[in-house]
Amino acid sequence: MNLRFQGTGDARQVPVYGCDCKSCYLARVDKTKRRGPSGLLLETDSVTLLLDAGQTDLAERFPPDTLTGILLTHYHMDHVAGLFHLRWGVNTQIPVWGPNDENGCDDLFKHPGILDFKSPLEAFSMISFGRLNITPIPLNHSKPCLGFCVEHEGQKFAYLTDTVGLPDNSRDFLAEWNADTLIIDCSHPPQNYGSEVEKALNHNDWRMVELIISQLNPRHTWLTHISHEMDEWLLNNKLPFGVSVAYDDLTLEM
């Protein structure tokens, strides 16, 4: 099982338009430091699944009939933007699974084109693609949002993007499920708890991620959905052993 990060940025991406902070400057002069919309490509010998579809060039990235399907964490634009062009293709269909959100995004449900939207995923109800098993779990976000617990031939990883903390039932499930690898939203550097800033958060900061890691104890953790503020904080701060920052096009062999 191989994982390839299609993107690792937040909704603004890196560099941020008009920003002259150090991390945005570095991303402008070094393309390897840029971050596109967060998403993950999951491949086994027989299955190719895209987790989220925020990249706008999906038609170029994935020729017809190369995708087994697309799993969406939620219907915010930075996670589905690539579907709007892809849907107008012809002579093929692409299965799409997502959370129970009757509003979806714009007119995707009304005009799906080649996108074959399946019944909404149910939390804690496993779906299988051959020997690949995926269990959706609820996350804390401003729209209905799911994380994915993926197991293939004894290897386990959890993909938890777009969340602020974890719901109790999801945390309990993950603690028992015992993932080898945790891929988690860490949009913000450490925030001041109790402040108005914290109340406005819709994504994890580093302190929340530290707490989740201590509760779940994965072998390795990869941070994703990174903001330019988080990148700037990382320039002067080190992460503990067992925690790494993902970057666009990073490939992990599980």
Task: Write out pLDDT tens, residues 214-244.
Answer: 999 999 999 999 999 999 999 999 999 999 9
Is the pLDDT at 156 greater than 60? The verdict is yes
What tokens does 74 get? 């939620």
* Contacts by residues 220-223 (CB-CB < 8 Å, ≥ 24 positions apart): 220/180, 220/181, 220/182, 220/244, 221/181, 221/182, 221/183, 221/184, 222/181, 222/182, 222/183, 222/184, 222/246, 222/252, 223/184, 223/186
Residue 254: what pLDDT? Answer: 86
Q: What percent of the chain has pLDDT over 90?
A: 95
- Which residues partner with 184 through β-bridges? 160, 223
CA–CA dist 7, 227 (Å, integer)? 12
* Long-range contacts (CB closer than 8 Å, 24 or more residues apart) made by 236-244: 237/189, 242/213, 242/218, 243/213, 244/220
CATH number of 2-253: 3.60.15.10
| 179-214 pLDDT per residue, tens | 999 999 999 999 876 655 555 579 999 999 999 999
pLDDT at position 78, please? 97
| pLDDT value of position 192 | 77
Enclosing H/E stretch for 228: helix 228-234
Q: Are 82 and 115 in contact (CB under 8 A)?
A: no
pTM summary value: 0.96
Residue 197: the pLDDT is 52
Residues 43-60: tens digit of each pLDDT = 999 999 999 999 999 999
Q: Where are the domains of the chain?
A: 2-253
Question: What is residue 194's predicted lDDT score, i.e. its pLDDT?
Answer: 62
Question: What is the percent of the chain where pLDDT is above 70?
Answer: 97
pLDDT over threshold 60, residue 126: yes
